[in-house]
Amino acid sequence: MYPLLFRHVLSRFDPEFAHHAAMAVIRVLGVPPFSWATRALTAPSPEQQVHALGLTFPSPFGVAAGFDKNVVGVRGLDALGFGHIEVGTVTAIPQDGNPKPRLFRLVPDRAVVNRMGFNNNGAEAAEARLTKLRRRAPRAVIGVNIGKSRVVAVEDAIADYVASATRLAPLADYLAVNVSSPNTPGLRGLQAVETLAPLLRAVKEAAGATPLLVKIAPDLPDEEIAAIARLAVDEGLAGIISHNTTISREGLRTDPAVVEAAGAGGLSGAPLKERSLEVLAVVKAAVPADFCVIAVGGVETADDVQKRLDAGATLVQGYTAFLYRGPFWARQINRGLRR
């Protein structure tokens, strides 16, 4: 039913408009009595719980950062069956992001190209919304993904990240440092170990007891990915998120003219299946067996999730397939994992 609706109706709308429309529905689903009815249909079974980062996740499958940038859909996403919600990316300073259009579907590839540019309301607004959430919806596991404000120079990035961490860590179940989006100039340069080490050290101090993870890019050489993974262990981080979107366009089935028209930005969705498993293997080989690794990229089905769990992932996240599979995607994943 949903694939037909997407193909004949939803795909005709501008992707960013469609996302905001979907978020409006998701927000409604998070409010009683709609949330009660939704949760009755989608709740993971108790045996699917995962214990990690000192937390209990109702399911190993959560929604990745980027879907709920402004902490407005957490209750609805929780009701839809996601085991955790990673909000953001949040920056210390509010920003509009890159000029529109900045979100593009590659339907034959079940993929998306985005160059959103960390559009969000800022850390102060996120702090206020998280404070309300903690009073209203204590059941949801909420991660907070933080990034560099665009107006802040790269050499001043540490203070910028620390400002966000200081506000948001006390309200987050875990904090994720995003140094891997391709849509903020200079950001990926922070992944160099000599630059990343002092940044992680400072953010970890600001985060206090809140578990801290770092999110990496899939486009780095494997030896650099392994070095960052070892650094995360050495600096006492709680885990690593593997991985962000890619700047690669290799192997796409979409008409090259359509891909070229979409332009620069991070590619997400089905084309990342193979690379995501490769990066996961590199990370797992570089960290202790019990180190938390959250796998992201190319996840569409319960089989995709299970493959990542079998490869050593502690938790798995998805985003792009939500667009192609519809509102009961998490329910499909959770039921498939039970089988």
**Lowest mean per-residue pLDDT among 119-123, 132-136, 257-261, 318-322:** 132-136
Query: How far are the Cα atoms of 17, 86, 87, 200, 217 from residue 91, in angstroms, in the given order?
Result: 22, 14, 11, 16, 19
Q: Catalytic: which of 35, 164, 181, 268?
A: 181
Are 236 and 292 a contacting pair, CB within 8 Å? no
pLDDT band at 3 (very low <50, low <70, confident <90, very high): low
Mean pLDDT of the chain: 93
Domains of the chain: 2-338 (3.20.20.70)
pLDDT band at 180 (very low <50, low <70, confident <90, very high): confident
Separation between Cα atoms, residue 206 and residue 201, nearest integer Å: 9
pTM of the model: 0.94
- Is 181 among the residues known to form the active site? yes
Closest CA to 166 of 104, 90, 225, 236: 90
